[in-house]
């Protein structure tokens, strides 16, 4: 397996990052019930995956254990992510979670999977992860802002903890799905079958939780706003499908890092669509991200 991703794979992963930022924007824009919206997004993936299965072969037997493991890790991911969002600001928790994931994959993939990373790959992942975290961090607290209360500090620490736990689960499901899609079979059809089965197996649980805890909200959502979740689900399923396929095409550290450029796209969407300032800090962070990507996907320097 090549240590550098093919340009087509790089382009598709950047598109997957844009898709990830887009469905997160749909989720964040919902001011009524995000759990129901998130559940609908996942349920849409189940429908799309189920529609694909009749036209695809069965995955190889060794892939099922990885698919089951990925589903379990994703359930923890949903819980940690929602807890982090409930306790802390999105600009604080999201970049920590998304930036920590590729860094952990780079550290673990060599030891656990035997993937060989060049020194510049490691440096590139560190630069990219640091840039992603810095990109969405607030520039600083206003001098006129009151001192933080003890309760606010506790919430901040709890939010940071759940963001870190989210990052751990992101690294976990990337590695497990990378192993799963490689074990599913040698053909493209087998890899597509793994992607479809993953959407089917992990799809219903969050929606069933929403239905059990807030049935009235789910009913109203299905009557008036179901199309938002359906659109977000289609985008999410396609974006993560690309990422899973890419895990079979090159080093997992490269794939994980490129996919998390969704943070950069999210910052650009906030600036261009919502009028949020980009600022010198974000410009510097974006430059660091570009340097990291060039190091990882460029020729051997020494």
Q: Higher-confidence residue: 272 or 195?
A: 195
Q: What is the pLDDT of residue 150?
A: 75
* Rg of the chain, C-alpha, whole Å: 19
pLDDT confidence band for 173 (50 / 70 / 90):
very high
Q: What is the pLDDT of residue 108?
A: 76
Asked if the structure places residue 145 within a domain, the reply is no
Asked if the structure places residue 185 within a domain, the reply is yes
Average pLDDT of the chain is: 80
CA dist 160 and 84 (Å) reads 7
Structural domain of 89: 7-138+151-297
Backbone angles phi, psi at 61, to 5 degrees: -55, -40
Mean pLDDT of 172-199: 92
Q: Out of 143-152, 170-179, 193-202, 265-274, which region has the weakest mean confidence (pLDDT)?
A: 143-152
Asked if the structure places residue 91 within a domain, the reply is yes
Per the structure, the count of domains in the chain is: 1
CA dist 48 and 53 (Å) reads 9
Asked if the structure places residue 257 within a domain, the reply is yes
Mean pLDDT of 153-168: 85
Q: How far is CA 217 from CA 31, 202, 211, 226, in A?
A: 12, 22, 8, 12
Closest by alpha carbon to 287, among 127, 99, 103?
127
Cα dihedral angle (89, 74, 22, 45), rounded to 10 degrees? -150
Whether 154 shows a pLDDT value over 70: the answer reads yes
Mean pLDDT of 237-241: 89
pLDDT confidence band for 145 (50 / 70 / 90):
very low
Q: What is the pLDDT of residue 1?
A: 52
Mean pLDDT of 170-187: 91
pLDDT confidence band for 157 (50 / 70 / 90):
confident
pLDDT tens across 65-124, in order?
999 999 999 999 988 987 887 787 666 677 777 777 777 887 777 666 666 667 777 787
Half-sphere exposure (Cβ direction) of 156: Cα atoms closer than 13 Å: 8
Please, which residues have CB within 8 angstroms of residue 16's CB and are 6 or more apart in sequence?
238, 239, 240, 242, 243, 246, 259, 262
Q: What is the pLDDT of residue 183?
A: 93
Asked if the structure places residue 146 within a domain, the reply is no
Whether 191 shows a pLDDT value over 80: the answer reads yes
Q: Spell 49-58 as b/e; 16+ CB within 10 A means b.
A: beebeeebee
Q: What is the pLDDT of residue 300?
A: 59
**Cβ atoms of residues 276 and 135 within 8 Å:** no
Asked if the structure places residue 144 within a domain, the reply is no
Asked if the structure places residue 169 within a domain, the reply is yes
Q: Higher-confidence residue: 173 or 217?
A: 173
Mapping DSSP to helix (H, G, I), strand (E, B) and coil, where does residue 204 land?
coil
Asked if the structure places residue 15 within a domain, the reply is yes
């Amino acid at each position: 397996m090549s240590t550098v991703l093919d340009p087509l794979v790089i382009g598709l992963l950047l598109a997957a990052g844009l898709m990830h930022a887009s469905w997160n924007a749909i989720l964040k824009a919902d001011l009524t019930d995000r759990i129901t919206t998130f559940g609908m997004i996942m349920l849409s993936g189940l429908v799309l995956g189920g529609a694909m299965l009749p036209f695809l072969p069965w995955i190889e037997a060794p892939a099922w254990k990885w698919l089951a493991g990925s589903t379990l890790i994703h359930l923890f991911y949903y819980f940690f992510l929602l807890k982090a969002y409930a306790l802390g600001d999105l600009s604080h928790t999201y970049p920590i979670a998304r930036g920590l994931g590729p860094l952990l994959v780079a550290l673990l993939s060599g030891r656990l999977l035997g993937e060989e990373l060049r020194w510049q790959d490691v440096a590139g992942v560190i630069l990219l992860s640091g840039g992603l975290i810095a990109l969405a961090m607030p520039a600083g607290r206003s001098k006129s802002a009151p001192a933080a209360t003890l309760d606010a500090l506790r919430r901040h620490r709890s939010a940071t903890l759940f963001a870190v736990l989210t990052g751990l689960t992101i690294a976990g499901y990337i590695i497990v799905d990378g192993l799963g899609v490689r074990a599913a079979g040698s053909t493209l059809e087998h890899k597509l079958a793994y992607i479809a089965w993953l959407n089917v197996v992990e799809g219903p649980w969050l929606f069933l939780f929403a239905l059990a805890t807030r049935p009235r909200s789910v009913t109203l959502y299905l009557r008036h706003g179901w199309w938002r979740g359906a659109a977000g689900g289609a985008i999410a399923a396609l974006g993560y499908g690309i990422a899973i396929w890419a895990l079979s095409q090159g080093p997992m550290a490269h794939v994980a890092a490129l996919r998390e450029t969704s943070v950069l796209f999210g910052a650009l969407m906030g600036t261009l669509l919502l009028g949020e300032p980009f600022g010198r800090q974000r410009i510097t962070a974006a430059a660091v991200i570009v340097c990291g990507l060039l190091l990882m996907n460029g020729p051997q320097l020494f």
